[in-house]
Amino acid sequence: MRAALKCFAARGYFGASMRDIAAEADIGLAGIYHHFSGKQELLQAVMTVTIEDVFASTRASVAAIPDDRPREQLAALVRAWVEFHTVRQEDARVGASEVHCLEGEGRDRVIALRDEQEALFVTTIERGARLGVFTTPYPREAARAILNMGIAVATWYRLDGDITPHGLAERYAQLSLDMVGAIDLRE
């Protein structure tokens, strides 16, 4: 699966062959087919693991904070989301760019997980809007914008650059709170 991920990231799903993946994994073609029916199953496996991991991490970050603290919930959600996209860049890039290559039930499963992931952003922001803490007139569009500015981090972030994953996550959390018009009730 690591070899498949690397090949999909480098050449795209249609451009990567089972032969490429076998060579990258340093095993024979028969060895791969012992575990996976083909390239489609490999793509489904790789993408499912990625999205399950990021969903588990982001959901836990929100669940750890009471629902009456939407500022802190959104900040934690954005931090978890951005940190994932700084450290799991290859997975995240394949997850974002190869969805249209998925077929059948594997596709349905990945799409369902993506919908749950988006719903986590939407419900967190709408809860804040209902409580009067987030003042934006556009909570749904804000949810999608925050989701996507985080996904893009996987395309440009460099671990050897001048900001740590944690530092970037903090800045994105602040930008997100500003975008939703968060007011600090302690002020």
**By the criterion CB under 8 A, which residues form the site for a second copy?**
10-16, 96-97, 100, 136-138, 141-142, 144-146, 148-149, 151-152, 155-156, 168, 171-172, 174-176, 178-181
Instruction: Work out how close the CB of 98 gets to a second copy at its nearest, in angstroms, rounded to a whole number.
Output: 8
Which residues, 6 or more positions from 14, have their beta carbon under 8 angstroms from its beta carbon?
A: 101
DSSP secondary structure code for residue 180 in this structure: T
Closer to a second copy by CB, 108 or 135: give it. 135
Q: How far is the CB of 7 from a second copy (least distance, A)?
A: 10
Supply the minimum distance, in Å, between the C-beta of residue 63 and a second copy: 26
Looking at the Cβ atoms of 66 and 137, the one nearer to a second copy is 137
Nearest to 8 by CA among 88, 94, 85, 87: 94
Least separation in angstroms between residue 137's CB and a second copy is 7
What whole-number distance in Å separates Cα of residue 142 and Cα of residue 179? 7
How far out from the chain centre does Cα 5 lie? 15
Across the strands, what pairs with 182?
134
105 vs 162 by CB, closer to a second copy: 162
Closest CA to 23 of 43, 4, 45: 4
Of the pair 106, 181, the CB lying nearest a second copy is at 181
What the block records as the tokens of 16 is 């990567």
